Structure 1
């Protein structure tokens, strides 16, 4: 009798049902110290004693669902001001006053004995420093603790085929009276390479050549941070933090071609940047006028890049092109508000935010055909931008009942952008634009049992403009210029979200599902900036041009130009499923398995083909698996993380580039050598692959559908090993 296999959808249901049933039947000893109510799960120090944590980050990694939030924080985001959404991390109910100064770095510098409690807050909650429809992690530190501690970390990374490079971090925390402080210094080193092999085919699918690319990079930097906090006798609190980070990058890339008409190229890039930031917040009680808080950030980032492109490996070897880029940007933000308690379970926060952003960038490109010629200026773009943005906001919280919370807000934004294109003779072309946006938000949280929660959110958002897209740049992957556009507008998005979460008994984990729909206006994508003409030189639209009879002579007079621009609309919809499960039902109560699946469609009109497509570089399906097992009796832990994405593609005026990404797999093992000292080994890029890319390059414009060449590219990502020692004293 043959073995019958259930269909995939039933196997998935059976798997989750088994996990759920097992978790409900088998209470987990490791979770007995977690304190649970309908919206908040609290973890006190006794919960973590068996894990012997060294830092606050060690503690957070033991809580189901939190490692995913930490990973998302590392990825960063396109944040506009200090509006909060999604998952958030707070310290004593307040966000870190900084944008460059990363919260994850601060978590790794706080010793475990400074933590009084960790709260996991799900959904909208009044009294916190953020609005969030996701998970809020609120870390409460020990009050009045006078103990000083020093955290140190020595780490090295070895990329296979390259040398081992050390890195060091030292951080000291202490207090003097009402003043608490943390200072830290870090050295960073990294190197590696990204090899790839390419095969070229002509439009008749005949192989014409191959190319081997070896991309090597070296990085060295330093990072200095400080955090100060002062508690006044009247209950007021002041916190200041600072960051200074100089970095240097060197890139060396060789492109060796074989076959028909080979072109061997060497690219060398030298890039140096430096950034600093100072941020802070102050809060005080105004009595009947409520609780006043203010927050500020001032930062500056500068970067210089020089690229030399050399042709041929043998004589005559000469630089045929070079590029120079200089960029300086800065930001100043001030946000103040007052929280007033109204009658009953109601409160309102009234305030405003002001932000001034400046951006200066110059791009110069020089080239020549033969060594005897001078390097002539080929492209010059110089942009000077200033944005002034002001917001007034009101946030209303109403605890309708112990189970039902309503949070609503209205933010009105006024912004003005002045963008100057400065020409070589000193003249300039100015864009002076003003925007006004109304950004409402409504959050509803309903705890219909102690372990079941429904959350709904409706919100309008406005994106932060990426000013570097205002300036011409060089696309190294496709060996072509990318024109800048100073007429870009922020993208406006209406977001509709409905989420359900179920917490399993005895803190054995949680199951969560979320469905959402986003409607975008002024969506940013690649668009056709070409000036089209007919046979008589009369301007015509793009559709009129492509309706003309094919004529190569006419096409030769057209400068086909793509750039980043705005289109009327786009939309996103999807479903996000997550589960975090302690493995007590299989006899491993100290192990946690996290599973995630996201299905998401991002659709817009391709401006070159007039077809509906996914956004560039977007995968419809993403799978995540995270596993961690703490063997506390041995002071040992191990685990792995897997992320797999479905195929995605990029599009432009003259190419279409689908890619099959490889799964990203990493693993770790760590061991507590003695009290306060831990050794850890991380294995990175275990597959050694990045994926396969096919590029279809077309003559002039993809709409002509005249294939010029097809490229098959195999991308590799060499394996690496990180070894670290860390401790406190």
Structure 2
């Protein structure tokens, strides 16, 4: 890494401040050990006596907090199911799949996913973490952190989603959970688990496990045309089924030692999933006859993923304040084998005759390790508080790819075994040192926080035999203000700078042929992160004893956007086409050379593209949320939940102005819960909808439309120890509809000279689940 005077100076200052003797007369006396309030009883998760509403936090930074009880009545299976109910979170996934969370509608890479306030590695090349990998049963609460602070990593342009797992300090008791899910095609899947927490020796221990059956049967249909409104080309009918199980466990131990508290925690999630697709392609828009059959395609993907994390934290009194030492290790493993086999038929014959059978097997392996260490110190200084610290992070991501292709010409014959594989490997190493300073305080009804974080990153990448390095650093100021100008009313203002680091596949020095139509793509190891200034301004009002209404306006000014640009080098397709053209000319003109009249000229129309920091963008919107009992209407046992977010943005790319890719125009949720106390019963419903999303990349443009999702539940409670819930989701048979504009190259895309126009629709049926919980 190149030497950096600012980073070195800040690091020395932090160390000196931490180790120096106390010399400030205004600093408060040494802090007392942390008090231990009574832990929350876990049986309240089993039998909820009251309807839970959004929490109103005392944080100076804008944070929305939702306890598990807020979601629990609808029995969410995963964190993804939970997040679909909170403001501004959208998903551009398959029907009934909630994996890559898009806060403010931006791509998942712009949203920082934290578990217990700490970064974790994930599957996505865009550094995103699939939130549907974490079962809801492990979660204590979800926090939406709308703006950055100096004591958190700055990778949060859209904001951060903090998934707080249950820990031994917060909970006491035990319960078991069991049930089943029924899907539209008659398939059943089990779900069961248990959680227990209590005093063990001089500390507290919490442990839990969960087994969740996962299943999603979908129907797809694609119609392809030469262009919008043009002649029909072909139709594809597809069955797509995702079948598997998720296994999870978490463990937490907390103990007071001396003037401090030691916390040990860990979680493990295993995903074992098989995805199968069966597709039939026809040359007629309605016929399913063999005389119209063009191809039969079968795909199978076997996915084995492991996420696990271990952490140790010790917070203790030191030097007139409170010092935190935090050591964490997280790992993600993904082993996926994908096999695609297809029978092709020649459309020039009537009926189409067998042409060939071909198969491709791809074996990918990814291992992503992150080790982090944090040293922080907090102390009071008169009426203010002062925090300083430094975060160290080492990340290593290894990826392997093996591909084998086979084919036969005889109908009915089996494909040869997949034996000869082309192999490629890559590795990315990142090292970060992030010192920070943060001040906070209160003055009457006004609370404030201001900080400065300096993030420096050293990156080494290697792909096969090619290696490259890069380093960059960025200064990230942040400030927050909270004004409680009445007992019910609050104003919040936040300003901060954030970053988004490049995608892994964008920095690898590999050339991928025909990555964008006929165009190739090569990675750029010298990419710097995108940088953004952001402002959030919000108003929040307490409604009665439990209700909250909030409105927030946000703006992000993003610089150094990473865009795909033309290197000017011809693509492999252009070179191959030219070689074929020359060969054909020489066959027709024996003995000709480049001086021969009519000899082909090399005029490529497809090129090699790469990624560079060349763009700017703006993101803005307004967010409303309301959760309140309807006491004013004489319905104290009815809770209303509403949130609505209007989202917009602008980016200039090579083809003009557009929104940020895949940003939904809006997203809203509305629902209610009614409690019949005399019967020990509750029921409720929720409806969710998000607006259309548009994406434009080189050679392809996609418009995505989702139908609304309706869910209902009914709950019966038996005493103080047992509850039974029946939940129905996707009751409107929601569909996902997409329109694909496809081109061969940039010139054709500008001229609207289509390679293909495709309309695809995907749907899935209702899902019902019956869940019983028993505490003891």
| TM-score in terms of structure 2 length | 0.72
The reply to whether residue 445 of structure 1 matches residue 490 of structure 2 is no
1:218-367 to 2 correspondences below 5 Å: 218-232=243-257, 234-259=258-283, 262-288=294-320, 290-312=321-343, 318-343=357-382, 345-367=383-405
The reply to whether residue 435 of structure 1 matches residue 472 of structure 2 is yes
Paired position in structure 1 for 2:455? 413
Deviates more, 1:676-685 or 1:702-711: 702-711
Per-residue CA distance 1:119-154 (angstroms, 9 max, x = gap): 999999999999999999999999899xx6322111
Paired position in structure 2 for 1:208? 233
Structure 1 residue 201: deviation in Å? 1.9
Paired position in structure 2 for 1:587? 634
Match of 1:217 among 217, 224, 242: 242
Per-residue CA distance 1:15-64 (angstroms, 9 max, x = gap): xxxxxxxxxxxxxxxxxxxxxxxxxxxxx999x99x98335998784457
For 1:166 and 1:528, how far apart are their aligned partners in 2?
51
Match of 1:644 among 686, 689, 709: 689
Match of 2:723 among 678, 690, 694: 678
For 2:243 and 2:511, how far apart are their aligned partners in 1?
22
For 1:568 and 1:121, how far apart are their aligned partners in 2?
28
Q: Is the 8 A contact 1:123 1:455 kept in 2?
A: no
Deviates more, 1:481-490 or 1:518-527: 481-490
Per-residue CA distance 1:166-224 (angstroms, 9 max, x = gap): 12112221212321101222222212222111222224612232210111111123222
Closer, same or farther in 2 for the Cα pair 1:528/1:626, shift >3 Å?
farther
Structure 1 residue 556: deviation in Å? 7.9
Structure 1 residue 529: deviation in Å? 5.7
Structure 1 residue 457: deviation in Å? 0.7
Closer, same or farther in 2 for the Cα pair 1:382/1:355, shift >3 Å?
same
Match of 2:622 among 575, 581, 584: 575
For 1:383 and 1:98, how far apart are their aligned partners in 2?
20
Structure 1 residue 316: deviation in Å? 8.4
Q: Is the 8 A contact 2:705 2:738 kept in 1?
A: yes
Structure 1 residue 416: deviation in Å? 0.3
Q: Is the 8 A contact 1:124 1:405 kept in 2?
A: no
1:145-184 to 2 correspondences below 5 Å: 149-184=173-208
Q: Is the 8 A contact 2:519 2:745 kept in 1?
A: no
For 1:473 and 1:629, how far apart are their aligned partners in 2?
58
Per-residue CA distance 1:399-441 (angstroms, 9 max, x = gap): 1x2211110000111110001111xxxxx22221111110100
Q: Is the 8 A contact 1:404 1:447 kept in 2?
A: yes
Structure 1 residue 281: deviation in Å? 1.3
For 2:363 and 2:247, how far apart are their aligned partners in 1?
24
Q: Is the 8 A contact 2:219 2:238 kept in 1?
A: yes
For 2:694 and 2:179, how far apart are their aligned partners in 1?
37
For 1:526 and 1:672, how far apart are their aligned partners in 2?
57
Closer, same or farther in 2 for the Cα pair 1:592/1:389, shift >3 Å?
same
Per-residue CA distance 1:446-465 (angstroms, 9 max, x = gap): 11111111111110112254
Structure 1 residue 333: deviation in Å? 0.9
Structure 1 residue 325: deviation in Å? 1.0
Q: Unpaired segments of 5 or more residues in structure 2?
A: 1-36, 56-64, 72-78, 90-97, 104-109, 123-128, 285-292, 346-353, 576-597
Paired position in structure 2 for 1:36? none
Structure 1 residue 242: deviation in Å? 1.4
Structure 1 residue 581: deviation in Å? 2.8
The reply to whether residue 599 of structure 1 matches residue 638 of structure 2 is no
Structure 1 residue 354: deviation in Å? 0.3
1:628-707 to 2 correspondences below 5 Å: 628-701=673-746, 702-707=749-754
1:487-506 to 2 correspondences below 5 Å: 487=525, 488-504=527-543, 506=544
Match of 2:523 among 485, 488, 500: 485
For 2:472 and 2:515, how far apart are their aligned partners in 1?
35
For 2:144 and 2:240, how far apart are their aligned partners in 1?
45
Paired position in structure 1 for 2:559? 521
Q: SS state of the match for residue 633, structure 1? A: helix
1:446-461 to 2 correspondences below 5 Å: 446-461=483-498
Paired position in structure 2 for 1:615? 660
Per-residue CA distance 1:257-283 (angstroms, 9 max, x = gap): 111782321111112122321012110
For 2:603 and 2:421, how far apart are their aligned partners in 1?
19
For 2:102 and 2:642, how far apart are their aligned partners in 1?
26
For 1:515 and 1:576, how far apart are their aligned partners in 2?
6
Closer, same or farther in 2 for the Cα pair 1:447/1:664, shift >3 Å?
same
For 1:144 and 1:514, how far apart are their aligned partners in 2?
30
Q: SS state of the match for residue 278, structure 2? A: strand
Closer, same or farther in 2 for the Cα pair 1:316/1:726, shift >3 Å?
farther
Structure 1 residue 398: deviation in Å? 2.0
Q: Please tell me the root mean square deviation across aligned C-alpha atoms, in Å.
A: 4.5
For 2:409 and 2:618, how far apart are their aligned partners in 1?
51
For 1:320 and 1:141, how far apart are their aligned partners in 2?
49
Closer, same or farther in 2 for the Cα pair 1:276/1:140, shift >3 Å?
closer
Paired position in structure 2 for 1:10? none
Structure 1 residue 97: deviation in Å? 9.1
Instruction: State the aligned residue count.
Output: 640
Q: Higher relative contact order at CA 8 Å, sep ≥6: structure 1 or structure 2?
A: 2
Q: Is the 8 A contact 1:679 1:726 kept in 2?
A: yes
Q: Is the 8 A contact 2:524 2:612 kept in 1?
A: no
Q: SS state of the match for residue 711, structure 1? A: strand
Deviates more, 1:257-266 or 1:310-319: 310-319
Structure 1 residue 576: deviation in Å? 1.2
Match of 1:467 among 504, 521, 536: 504
Q: SS state of the match for residue 531, structure 1? A: strand
Match of 1:396 among 421, 439, 448: 439
Q: SS state of the match for residue 679, structure 2? A: coil
| TM-score in terms of structure 1 length | 0.77
For 2:244 and 2:517, how far apart are their aligned partners in 1?
24
